[in-house]
Amino acid sequence: MGETVTLTLKIPKDLYERALKFLEENKSAFSTLEDLIIFLLKETVSERESEELTPEEEKELEERLRDLGYI
């Protein structure tokens, strides 16, 4: 996984309790709250990164929209 950083994370109590309940219900997938948080952060960041278009993709999209008469 690489280098790690230790930090304190403040979250609402109800969210913490819901996360603990989720862990209890999904013991086979996540053994600790840390594992769950790391998984969720990786998934969220990966989704956001994959949503970004390259300059080439932006140009192609613009051309397609122009061909369709939208711009």
Task: Identify the sign of the CA torsion 35, 37, 42, 44.
Answer: positive
Structural domain boundaries in the chain:
13-67
pLDDT at res. 18: 95
pLDDT at res. 49: 66
Summarised one tens digit per residue, pLDDT across range 23-52 is: 999 989 999 999 999 999 988 887 666 667
- The Cβ-side half-sphere exposure at 54, using a 13 Å CA radius, reads 3
Structure tokens at 10: 């403040």
CA dist 1 → 7, 42, 62 (Å): 17, 11, 38
- Residue 20: is its pLDDT beyond 80? yes
pLDDT: is 60 or 1 the higher one? Answer: 60
pLDDT at res. 65: 79
